[in-house]
Amino acid sequence: MLNYGAQNVCLQSWAQSCLNQNTKLTKKESDINSDRTAEMAVFEIQSAIEATEKNSLLYEEKSFDYRIEIIDFLGFHLIDQIDDLLRKTAESGPLILLKYRVEKVKSELEKIDSNLFQRLQANIRIGGYAAKEFKELINEYVHFNPDNTEHQEEAGYDNLDIFINGLFPLQIMPEPTKDLEPDMVYYQKTPARIVFELVKQAHFRKEDVFFDLGSGLGQVAVLVNLLAGITAKGVEFEPAFCEYASDCAAKLNLSNVTFINADARKTDYSEGTVFFMYTPFRGEILQEVLEVLRKESLRRKIKIITYGPCTAQVALQSWLDFSALKNGSIYKLGVFTSRRLAHIRNDVIKK
Ligand SMILES: C[S@@+](CC[C@H](N)C(=O)[O-])C[C@H]1O[C@@H](n2cnc3c(N)ncnc32)[C@H](O)[C@@H]1O
C-alpha cells in the first residue's frame, strides 16, 4: 500500500531539487523557467488527485455523470500530463508513483461503474424493470430529460450512450465478416437520446411489433423493448453483428427481442407494424425495401420512422404521410404513416 503523504513529500523534494539544481548550476533562464513549469504542473496534479480522493460524492453510485467527467479528466488530462513530464525528465521515480496514484483512483471509480452495471444487468434479467421503471432508472443515473428536445438535433454521443453501453453485457464489438454491397451503409449506432425520442414519437400500442432494419449490434431493438415493453426485432445483413445482438438479448433474458440475419430486401415483415431505419442503405436497395414495406401497408397500417439522410428519400413516397416536423434536418426523426386507403385505390386502378 502506498503512503501518499510520504509520496507528496517525495514529489515536493523532487520539485525542490529541480530548483536547487537550477541555483547551483546557474542554468540558462529558459531551463529554469521550464523546471518551474514542471514543478507547478506536479503541484497541480497532486492537488487535483488529492481533491478527487477526498470527494465522497464521486464514490456514490448515483454520481454516474460526474464520475464520467472525472474518469475522463484523470485519463485524458492528468495521465497525459504526467507522461509528458516523464518524457522531459531523467528523475522519473516520483512521477511514476504519481501516475500510479492517478491510475489507482481512476480504476477505483471505474470499478464502481462496473459493479453498478452488473447489478442493473442482473435486474434486467429477472424482469426487474417494466418500461416506466426503466425510464426512472435512467433518470436516476444520467441527467437526461427525454422531454427536452433541445439537443436532439446535435450529432454525436453523450453520457446517456455511455450509460446504455454499460447495460449491454458484451462490450467488444465483433469484426464484420462480409463485405457490404454498394448502397449498404456501414455500422453506426443511433444515439440513445434519439431512441428515446423515437419511443416518444412512435406512440406504441402494446400489440405493436417493432422492426429495426439494419439493426447492427441490436441496441435500438433492446432499448425499444425496455422503454416501451413491446416485441422488438432486428434485421441485420452482417452475421457477426446479428450473433452479437442475439447473445446480448439472451444474456439479458429479453425473450421478446430477436434478431434475424438477413438482407432487409428479403425479410418476412408480416408481423411488423413500426419500422425504423437509421439510414442502413441508400439508392436502389432503399427503394426495394420501401416497395416491400408498401406491399405490407396494403394489409395493415404501418409506421416508418427514419433517422439520417434516408429521410429525404422516404419523404418522396406518395403512399406515406409525413407526420413529424418538416424542417428537413437529417438529425431529426422522420415519422411516416402509410395511407392505406389511398393504396388500395391505387391497386384497384392498376388492375
Ligand atoms: C447505420 S447502421 C444502423 C445500426 C442500428 N440500426 C443502430 O442504430 O444501432 C446500418 C446497419 O445496416 C446494416 N445493413 C446494411 N444493408 C443491409 C441490408 N440490406 N439488410 C440488412 N442490414 C443491412 C449494416 O450492416 C449496419 O449494421
Report the DSSP pairing between strands 257-261 and 231-236. parallel
Q: Please choose from 195, 236, 289, 307 the residue to mutate so as to test ligand 1's pocket, defined by most ligand atoms within 8 A of CB.
A: 236
Q: Are 319 and 339 in contact (CB under 8 A)?
A: yes
Domain ranges of the chain: 4-125, 159-350
The answer on pLDDT for 96 being more than 80 is yes
Residue 18: name the closest of 96, 91, 94 by CA: 91
Confidence (pLDDT) at 330: 73
Q: Are 166 and 113 in contact (CB under 8 A)?
A: yes
CB 157 less than 6 A from any atom of ligand 1: no
Q: Tell me the average pLDDT across 45-70.
A: 93
Q: Please choose from 213, 222, 265, 284 the residue to mutate so as to test ligand 1's pocket, defined by most ligand atoms within 8 A of CB.
A: 213
Residue whose Cα lies nearest atom 16 of ligand 1: it is 184
Confidence (pLDDT) at 8: 46
Confidence (pLDDT) at 95: 86
The answer on pLDDT for 272 being more than 70 is yes
Q: Which three cell numbers stand for residue 184?
A: 449498404
Q: What sign for the dihedral angle of Cα 195, 339, 208, 248? A: negative
Q: Tell me the average pLDDT across 253-281.
A: 98
Confidence (pLDDT) at 144: 78
Distance 266 CA to ligand 1 centre (A): 14
CB 259 less than 6 A from any atom of ligand 1: no
Q: Please choose from 165, 177, 179, 185 the residue to mutate so as to test ligand 1's pocket, defined by most ligand atoms within 8 A of CB.
A: 185
Q: In whole angstroms, how large is the CA radius of gyration of the chain? A: 27
Residue whose Cα lies nearest atom 26 of ligand 1: it is 187
CB 245 less than 6 A from any atom of ligand 1: no
Q: Tell me phi and psi for residue 195, to 5 degrees.
A: -70, -35
In this predicted model, what pLDDT tens digit does every residue of 3-41 receive, in sequence order? 444 444 444 444 444 334 444 444 565 565 666 677 788
More confident residue, 321 or 324: 321
The answer on pLDDT for 275 being more than 90 is yes
In this predicted model, what pLDDT tens digit does every residue of 199-250 receive, in sequence order? 999 999 999 999 999 999 999 999 999 999 999 999 999 999 999 999 999 9
The answer on pLDDT for 341 being more than 50 is yes
H helix count then E strand count, the chain: 13, 7
Which DSSP category does 57 fall into?
G
Q: Tell me the average pLDDT across 340-345.
A: 54
CB 220 less than 6 A from any atom of ligand 1: yes
Q: Which pTM was predicted? A: 0.84
The answer on pLDDT for 110 being more than 60 is yes
CATH number 3.40.50.150 given to 159-350: yes
Q: 202-234 as b/e, with b when 16 or more CB fall inside 10 Å?
A: bebeeebbbbbbbbbbbbbbbbbbbbbbbbbbb
In this predicted model, what pLDDT tens digit does every residue of 281-313 receive, in sequence order? 999 999 999 999 999 999 999 999 999 999 999
Q: Which three cell numbers stand for residue 209?
A: 411489433
The answer on pLDDT for 260 being more than 50 is yes
Residue whose Cα lies nearest atom 9 of ligand 1: it is 189
Q: What is the overall mean pLDDT for the chain?
A: 86
Q: Coil, helix or strand for 89? A: coil
Residue whose Cα lies nearest atom 11 of ligand 1: it is 214
